[in-house]
Amino acid sequence: MLVGGESSSPDSSAYRTILQARLGRGPVCVLPAASSAPTTVMETARATLDALGGAGTASTIFLTLEDAQRAQDPQIGQEIARCSGFFFTDGKPARMLDVLMPEGDTTLALRAILSRYRAGAVLAANGAAAMTMGRVTIVEGDSRDAISQGVRTEEGSEGLLLRRGIGVLPRVIVDPRFFAEGRVGRLLVSVLASDSVSLGLGVDVNTALVVDGDSARVVGGSGVVAINARNTARVEGRFGRDVRLVLAGAGDRFDLSSLAVTPAEDKTPLGRRGGRRRRPDPLGRWGFLHVIGDLAASDTAEASFTVAGATLTLYKAPDFTAMRRAGQRVEDEPPGLSAGPFTLDLLPVGG
């Protein structure tokens, strides 16, 4: 389960989903490997799970970068073996990789976790921890640097820094807080620049994507953008034409191979939106959500923007549909918004 990070008022549906997916009667084990304040975030997550499931529902396993050698301790393996599921807290993706995969090598702790996962234990990762679940992890960089500079090979320079991920989802790159932090540019470039991964998953804040094989469903308050560059014509490494993109909203299911979305049964077609809105910045906070919402609710077939020295154009595909549900809006966009498929071009200006 990929959780896209939390706001000051987190959605409890992700935690409830973790409890529903437990394997056996053991505790859900909270691991703060990504955090620089491990005790605080670990205890907060444990208390939240206990409040929903009762005292003793959750336990903690103290794995941190400051005591990284514990990841090779046989006692850790014994603690992990009793867990019915795992919840990795937010923080920084590099910290978590340095704890569980130092120098790219798997530790005893990681092998034990993956063994329980393969046996059926739920594996949930929040925010930065979710980023490590794919084959490739975005370690540093924002959307504007990604588009203008591309992928870099060392720390301290501009552009995106990528590392090998844990690979629970071997065909995927994950980016959390997707709309809230304006991350469409860096997820696009990460996928376009990768030789081994063609699928990007942008999970928004207070939202989770529950993955079972090729099937995925969205829970929480916002949505998940899936980007497929499998048949994309790449240009100059970090650009491309005909990227396929869909937005799956809360309650929807979609197929990770085809990106076919099955909307929740309570959704209805999105109506047309009257009036004019300020032209959003697709790389700004919530900007790409507004781009999708405006285009989905209009009679126009495309929207184009100049960003960071490139042109980003979003097109409605011939079989485009958009749906919504009743409820609370997200940043003034329809609740549970589902839209797609789109195609997207990211090209250098004049390209």
For residue 268, give the amino acid letter.
T
What distance in Å separates the CA atoms of residue 141 and residue 158, rounded to the nearest whole number? 7
Asked whether residue 8 carries a pLDDT value surpassing 80, the answer given is: no
pTM: 0.96
Residue linked to tokens 């829970």: 219
The whole-number pLDDT of residue 275 equals 58
Q: Using an 8 Å Cβ cutoff, are 1 and 208 in contact?
A: yes
pLDDT, tens digit (0-9, with 9 covering 90-100), for 56-107: 999 999 999 999 999 999 999 999 999 999 999 999 999 999 999 999 999 9
Residue linked to tokens 């939390």: 6
pLDDT, tens digit (0-9, with 9 covering 90-100), for 182-221: 999 999 999 999 988 999 999 999 999 999 999 999 999 8
Residue linked to tokens 């959307």: 143
What distance in Å separates the CA atoms of residue 4 and residue 144, rounded to the nearest whole number? 21
Average pLDDT over residues 315-340: 95
The whole-number pLDDT of residue 308 equals 94
Which stretch of DSSP H or E encloses residue 17?
A: helix 13-20
The whole-number pLDDT of residue 274 equals 66
Average pLDDT over residues 161-177: 96
What distance in Å separates the CA atoms of residue 56 and residue 110, rounded to the nearest whole number? 24
CA distance between the termini of the chain? 38
What distance in Å separates the CA atoms of residue 221 and residue 53, rounded to the nearest whole number? 21
CATH numbers and ranges of domains, the chain = 1-130 (3.40.50.880), 133-351 (3.40.50)
CA 69 from chain center: how many Å? 29
